[in-house]
Amino acid sequence: MLTNPFLRLRKRSAFLSIVSLLLFSIGARAKQWGYYTYEVVNGNTVTITGYTGPDGAITIPSVIDEKPVTAIGERAFFYCDGLTGNLVIPEGVTSIGDNAFHRCSGLNGTLTLPSTLESIGVYAFYGCSGLTGNLVIPEGVTSIGNQAFEGCSGLASVTFKGHAPELKGSPFACMADNFKVYFRQGKEGFTTPTWQGYPCEEM
């Protein structure tokens, strides 16, 4: 019995579509570099998607697979509560995703954000109670997600180098009682003597 040529063509097309989808799925999986999982975006930048290493201090790389790291992905370090010491986000990173460092409560030093940073996601540093000192928000940051720093009760203050970013909710809830906000002279969007419920001063 002869097979309809159009039916054969449709079957072949469907088979090739399935194969293409499988190959795409395999290619889209996160790759491994040392203790970090990552994805390549548009063929030329890297988003860190996970951490599989031991507890203790870490150095987040600025380059992976000979490509610049430009983002810390959602939940990349979620509940890595065994991480300790200072946390430095490398230069070149422009975004920190939702829940990226959620409940990394073991961090017991300062948090340094890169000058290239533009956005901080919701719950990004939620519950990082061990972070200490003054947090500097770079000039290029335009948005901070809800509860991004909630419960970072070890932070003494925050200094904004640029105009007040768009706040989605209450990024600085449940801070220390003496927590203070500082902003640079001439920057807009801040109010004195309080801003977001905390004492606020122009520097």
Residue 82 in any domain: the answer is yes
Residue 69 in any domain: the answer is yes
Name the band, by pLDDT with cuts 50, 70 and 90, for residue 101. very high
Q: Give the residue from 16, 5, 14, 66 showing the smallest Cα distance to 40.
A: 66
For residue 34, which amino acid is it?
A: G
Residue 127 in any domain: the answer is yes
Q: Is the pLDDT of residue 49 over 70?
A: yes
Task: Encode pLDDT of 108-136 as tens digits.
Answer: 999 999 999 999 999 999 999 999 999 99
The per-residue pLDDT for 159 is: 98
Whole-number Å distance between alpha carbons of 49 and 38: 5
Whole-number Å distance between alpha carbons of 193 and 36: 43
Residue 58 in any domain: the answer is yes
Helix (H, G, I), strand (E, B) or coil at 21: helix
Whole-number Å distance between alpha carbons of 137 and 170: 16
The three-state DSSP-derived secondary structure of 90-136 is CCCCCEECCCCCCCCCCCCCCEECCCCCCEECCCCCCCCCCCCEEEE
Name the band, by pLDDT with cuts 50, 70 and 90, for residue 30. confident
> In whole angstroms, how far apart are CA 147 and each of 24, 56, 121, 151, 198?
35, 25, 9, 8, 15
Residue 34 in any domain: the answer is yes
Residue 79 in any domain: the answer is yes
Q: Is the N-terminal amide bond of 193 cis, ω within 30° of 0?
A: yes
Query: For the domain that residue 126 is a member of, what is the CATH number?
Result: 3.80.10.10
Radius of gyration of the chain (CA): 22
Please state the domain count of the chain. Answer: 1
Residue 42 in any domain: the answer is yes
The average confidence (pLDDT) of the chain is: 90
Residue 110 in any domain: the answer is yes
Name the band, by pLDDT with cuts 50, 70 and 90, for residue 178. very high
